[in-house]
Structure 1
Amino acid sequence: MAQQNGTLPAMRTQPKAIFFTDFDGTITLQDSNDYLTDNLGYGVERRRRENHAVLEGRLTFRDSFQWMMDSVKTPYDQCISILLKNVQLDPHFAEFFAWTRENNVPVVVLSGGMQPIIRALLAHLIGEEAVEHMQIVSNDVMPRDGKGINEEGGWNIKFHDDSVFGHDKSLEIKPYTALPNRPIMFYAGDGVSDLSAAKETDLLFAKAGRDLVTYCENEKVPFVTFNDFSDIHKVVADVVAGKVSVKEAAKGRL
């Protein structure tokens, strides 16, 4: 549940808008979990095949992600070190994030990935101080078979909830939706981990050419495409400033 001491965390500053976002492949250019699977696990071909099965409803994201991570036997600390060298930040995210802080638009990261990797990458890419101003809700990591997570084959996913997603992102968003006079809510994502959140906010940003676009087109879910966070920044800033309505913004596919 998103509530903390009876208050939804992102509402502490009484914002006019909240920006929910996926992490891997959205804030970053590469998906860290895909990178681990493709390079240290069972490879890109099987991963893509299973992603399509998730999109078509023949496989749950939870099962797909479990199999992906089961195939990675590299110790966890080594996985983080490899990702720090190979995962890059969207070139316009830092500027957008600075704008959100200046304009009281809380950023809530909703990720199907694992907390230690997300925090390590964000601290590396935008700094420890910035991470402290960002709420992160995600899966976690735990030891496997009595081993330590930094041993070969010693770590496993600790899922956030019991849903078929492993982390049902809609459960974090819905309490905000139910608020009277609630803020404008945005969501940005790119892939199969975002399916549970796709219909929950006022305006959905889906990354061009990625699986979330395919899902939205198949399910007739309204969305705005983006290539990078400069696209998102312009639309969010215009909506928050009242220059365009959510309905007007939703008509655009950048």
Structure 2
Amino acid sequence: MPAAITPTSAPEVKSLTNLANETATECAERRSILDEQIKNGERSFREVSEEMWGSLHVPFDDGFKVMEKSLEIDRDFQEFHHYCIGNNIPFNVISAGLKPVLRRVLDAFLGEEESAHINIVANDAKIAEDGSEWKPIWRHDNELGHDKALSVQEARKQAELLCDNGTIPLIVFIGDGVSDLPAAREADVLFARRGLRLEEYCVENNISYTPFDTFADIQREIERIRQEDEDKTSGMGLPARFNPRANLWRRVSSKNTVPLYVTNPNVVPTPA
């Protein structure tokens, strides 16, 4: 190629910016189509996800810069995270996305020290250094790739092993989209973001849930549950709302046994 038409540094920067904007728009449009295909049963979630991730041909750092532009951050997410830390509530992000991407997002938004408090339950990934390949390494060998229902079941069994005096762990699940549907029946307490697919699914299938708009709504409700249970155990005679067989917040071993699972908390991008 003649040196005379080699682009200068300024056009390269402009081109990268334009590419990021165009890529974000195209991804949003494509994702809408693929979401509808999953909803209609035309294609599996795993198949759609492989297409989305496989369409990326950009180094990880550059790809993250593009993804970062499309992030929508719940204004109350960080405060809710602080609340969980302060009350010793295990906080997990459970996602159909890729663990390296999720960790980078949380590190960028919360800072690495705060992000380290969050366990990520997601698919791993093989990402070529030059960006030529983005390949998910699936947690489960089925059409979902990551079956969140199985992950929640596994977490419950692990938590039960840590419980003392017959205490039964409470699973709190917070979700919104298509990949959350299998886990909807596994949670003891289910929060579904108002107006999105998970809420529609709960209504269609008569699944009990609490709608929410921001994480402030969730924090208020969880605090109310904690107070109800503490009132019960302090001799006030009030029935436990969600699990009458156990004191869910106090009669536990030294390790925490009230796992909370957050999926796509509006700081974590997933392909579908």
Q: TM-score, normalised by structure 1?
A: 0.73
The Cα shift of 1:83 comes to 2.7
Partner of 2:75 in structure 1? 91
Q: Deviations over 1:100-120 (max 9, x none)?
A: 111111111111111111111
Partner of 1:171 in structure 2? 150
Partner of 1:193 in structure 2? 179
Supply the distance in 2 between the matched residues of 1:43 and 1:187 (Cα, whole angstroms).
27
Tell me the matched-pair count. Answer: 207
CA contact 1:40–1:72 (8 Å) conserved in 2: no
Supply the distance in 2 between the matched residues of 1:230 and 1:41 (Cα, whole angstroms).
30
Show structure 2 runs of 5+ residues with no match. Answer: 1-19, 161-165, 230-239, 244-272
CA contact 1:169–1:194 (8 Å) conserved in 2: yes
One-letter identity of the residue aligned with 2:136? I
One-letter identity of the residue aligned with 2:133? G
CA contact 2:60–2:129 (8 Å) conserved in 1: yes
RMSD across aligned positions (CA)? 2.4
> Which aligned pairs between 1:123-202 and structure 2 lie closer than 5 A?
123-143=107-127, 149-178=128-157, 179=160, 180-202=166-188
The Cα shift of 1:176 comes to 4.2
Find out whether 1:234 has 2:226 as its counterpart.
no
One-letter identity of the residue aligned with 2:51? W
CA contact 1:41–1:71 (8 Å) conserved in 2: no
Q: Deviations over 1:194-236 (max 9, x none)?
A: 1221111111111112111222222222211111100111111
Secondary structure of 1:201's counterpart equals coil
Change (3 A) 1:41 1:168: farther
Change (3 A) 1:135 1:129: same
**Percent identity between the aligned chains?**
30
Show structure 1 runs of 5+ residues with no match. Answer: 1-35, 144-148, 248-254
Secondary structure of 2:83's counterpart equals helix
Change (3 A) 1:74 1:115: same
Q: Deviations over 1:64-91 (max 9, x none)?
A: 1111222222222211122334424311
One-letter identity of the residue aligned with 1:173? V
CA contact 2:54–2:133 (8 Å) conserved in 1: no
Q: Deviations over 1:4-23 (max 9, x none)?
A: xxxxxxxxxxxxxxxxxxxx
Determine which structure has more spread, i.e. the larger CA radius of gyration.
2
Q: TM-score, normalised by structure 2?
A: 0.69
Partner of 2:60 in structure 1? 76
The Cα shift of 1:49 comes to 2.7
Determine which of 226, 241, 245 is the counterpart of 2:241: 245
Q: Deviations over 1:124-171 (max 9, x none)?
A: 11111112111111112204xxxxx23243222222221221111122
The Cα shift of 1:245 comes to 2.0
> Which aligned pairs between 1:58-73 and structure 2 lie closer than 5 A?
58-73=42-57
Find out whether 1:116 has 2:86 as its counterpart.
no
Which protein has the bigger helix share? Answer: 2
